[in-house]
Amino acid sequence: MSKSNLTRRGLLKTSVVAGAGVALPTIFTASSAAAFTNEPTGGSVTLGFNVPQTGPYADEGADELRAYELAVEHLNGGGDGGMMNTFSSNALQGNGILGKKVEFVTGDTQTKSDAARASAKSMIEKDGAIMITGGSSSGVAVAVQGLCQEAGVIFMAGLTHSNDTTGKDKKANGFRHFFNAYMSGAALAPVLEKLYGSDRKAYHLTADYTWGWTQEESIVASTEALGWETVNTVKTPLAATDFSSYIAPVLNSGADVLVLNHYGGNMVNSLTNAVQFGLREKQVNGKNFEIVVPLYSRLMAKGAGENVKGIHGSTNWHWSLQDDASKAFVKSFGEKYGFPPSQAAHTVYCQTLLYADACERAGTFNPCGVAEALEGFEFDGLGNGKTLYRADDHQCFKDVLVVRGKENPTSEFDLLEVVEVTPAAQVTYEPDHPMFAGGNLGSCNAGA
């Protein structure tokens, strides 16, 4: 039988010790010793994939999500490694990021700034995401980029083409791999000059919101530099589905080139209308009437069907490219999903790899360290040739593709052919270029 020595003093002592023991873990976590927002502590790290799953850009969103899942698989050492094998930086080992297994959460942006921010916030606040990426529209990208800056996480932009994302709305925590409207203009102009001459009259139809405007501005500037004349620029509402009333005045305007600053469903409809009106068979000013679609994607070409044949535009990447990196990516994407990736899929895959690589090189998940590793980073082997992540505005500078709707497609995916690869030097601009002026990166925010 044991003798119990229960004294008042002893009881007090034990209860204090027990109390401290119970409270200890609480104290540590509650006072949050974390150096930055959502510092990963366990054996895994969470990335937030915020893409449109409903709404007008749901197709692009679905393709982005496929690419993200593929990227995570490759980062964790699964699959055939895809572009990790061709990437010029060899920091990634296929064991996750910094030895931590990569996990992800997904959300629906609905292509609305509000919903996108709500979804990104829930990833940061609830799921502990250390990085947010995705999006298929510039408005959403700018909104989510602002949020990530405030919250102190890195934002790797998805498909966003507006100059503003890395122009007047640029943020220290935000990075864009995709090209922009200025680059489209700079890449297209020489090709257009070669094809159609320097004495042309252009008529613009422009989607009436920020992206449309910056693209119109860019294309007008670069074509007028060739000697083209801009006859008229007409804004069309984003929700428009029938463009007949906008096409009819083009016929009598004396213009001989129609530029469609539209994207997604808008472009499919406006191009279809223009072709139905017989614009392409017309002769104006003694020249063939031409149509140009500055921002092209395969998914749009698919929507417009026959009508895209022979129509020129620019794109960030195309699966028919023959470099090793593109071939490796198309192969692993194709093996997993059964069809080639779109440019949206390519850009988000690159962004995920670039982020992971930057973490490895920086040796930390701290957003400020990662941002520093990305700034001024030169790399190759991700399908776009030699690329620079410029430190001044966090924009990638790389070759831009000028493409044309194929006359004789061999499959439902083989809709575009690459006409010219415009070298990066030709699309590079000064950070204080007037189209990008007015913004300020601010300083990097690591949050808590």
Partner 1 sequence: MLGLNKKDTTLLIIVAALTLLAPFILNPFPADSALAQFNAGYPDLMQRFVIFGIFAIGFNILFGLTGYLSFGHAAFLGVGSYSAVWMFKLLSMNVIPAIILSVIVAGLFALLIGFISLRRSGIYFSILTLAFAQMSFNLAYSVLTPITNGETGLQLTLNDPRILGVSATADGSIPVTNLFGIEMRGTYEMVAGPWSFQFNTGYYLCAIIMLLAFYLAVRIFRSPFGMMLRAIKSNNTRMSYTGLNARPYALAAFVISGMYAGLAGGLMASMDPLAGAERMQWTASGEVVLMTILGGAGTLIGPVLGAGFIKYFENIFSKINDNVLHSWFSFMPDGLEDAMVALVYPFIGKGWHLTLGILFMLVVIFLPGGLVEGGQRIMRAFKRRKPDETSSETTTEPAE
Residue 114: which H helix or E strand, with range? helix 113-125
Q: Which is nearer to partner 1, 95 or 443 (CB)?
A: 443
DSSP state of 279: G
Strand ranges inside 152-244, DSSP E? 154-157, 174-176, 201-207, 229-236
> Residue 391 to residues 174, 176, 177, 223, 359: CA-CA distances in angstroms?
11, 11, 13, 29, 17
In 3D, which of 332, 374, 336, 333 has the Cα closest to residue 353? Answer: 374
Q: Determine contact, residues 269/241, Cβ cutoff 8 Å.
A: yes
Report the nearest approach of partner 1 to the CB of residue 302 (Å). Answer: 20
DSSP state of 437: T
Q: Which is nearer to partner 1, 285 or 443 (CB)?
A: 443
Residues within the interface to partner 1 (CB under 8 A): 25-26, 29-30, 32, 53-54, 58, 69, 104-108, 112-115, 117-119, 121-122, 125-126, 137-139, 142-143, 146-147, 149-150, 164, 169, 208-211, 235, 237-238, 439-440, 442-443, 445
Report the nearest approach of partner 1 to the CB of residue 375 (Å). Answer: 15
Report the nearest approach of partner 1 to the CB of residue 102 (Å). Answer: 12
Rg of the Cα atoms in the chain: 25
Report the nearest approach of partner 1 to the CB of residue 84 (Å). Answer: 21
Report the nearest approach of partner 1 to the CB of residue 290 (Å). Answer: 28
Q: Which is nearer to partner 1, 125 or 224 (CB)?
A: 125
- Residues linked to residue 233 through DSSP beta bridges, in sequence order: 204
Report the nearest approach of partner 1 to the CB of residue 199 (Å). Answer: 33
Phi, psi of 295 (to 5 degrees): -110, 115
Angle of CA points 17, 18, 20, to nearest 5°: 65
Q: Which is nearer to partner 1, 164 or 420 (CB)?
A: 164
Q: Which is nearer to partner 1, 92 or 143 (CB)?
A: 143
Q: Determine contact, residues 75/344, Cβ cutoff 8 Å.
A: no
Q: Which is nearer to partner 1, 53 or 273 (CB)?
A: 53
